[in-house]
Amino acid sequence: MEASVPIHRYTHRDLAARNCLITSGYEVKVANMSLTRDIYAKEYDRWRGTAAAPVRWMPPEALADDDFSTRADVWSFGVLAWEVFTQGDLPYSGRAGDDIAAGVAAGSLRLPPLDQCPEPLHAVMRACWSPRSADRPSFSELAVSIGEMTVDSDL
């Protein structure tokens, strides 16, 4: 009998490489490292007054309306994938949080393609960054797409 995995409908709201732990068996565990935020202070920007927010990982709807959903986390997953392929570069390095938020909201700012990232995987990242949350893949769809890539290629 196959074990059933419960489906939880939670949003993380801070999915980024800094919050991913890797076990000795190379399993990724998503955590929330909020207690270590001062170590990562440069990765949070002041947003809407005094709140510190991970603007560099936030989708347009979260920036505009504080609308967080699993599809918002999918956007952040695309940024996390970009972080992995840059070996930890800060997304939108050298830009201020307000500039990032305005560019992402306007659709004029996205992370650039990377020479070290295969095009099919960058296409998945671009899908994660669809301006409309409904157009983004689900995490289940991402798992299938990336799984097929790893079976069918050198990823």
In the annotation, is 115 catalytic? Answer: no
pLDDT at residue number 56: 92
Please indicate, yes or no, if residue 6 is contained in any of the structural domains: no
Q: What is the CATH number of the domain that holds 104?
A: 1.10.510.10
Selected catalytic residue, list 14, 89, 135, 154: 14
pLDDT at residue number 143: 92
Please indicate, yes or no, if residue 7 is contained in any of the structural domains: no
Please indicate, yes or no, if residue 12 is contained in any of the structural domains: no
Q: pLDDT under 70 in the chain at which residues?
A: 1-10, 12, 33-51, 152-155
Alpha carbons 11 and 33: distance in angstroms, whole number = 15
Q: What is the pTM of this model?
A: 0.78
Q: Domain range for residue 106?
A: 17-152
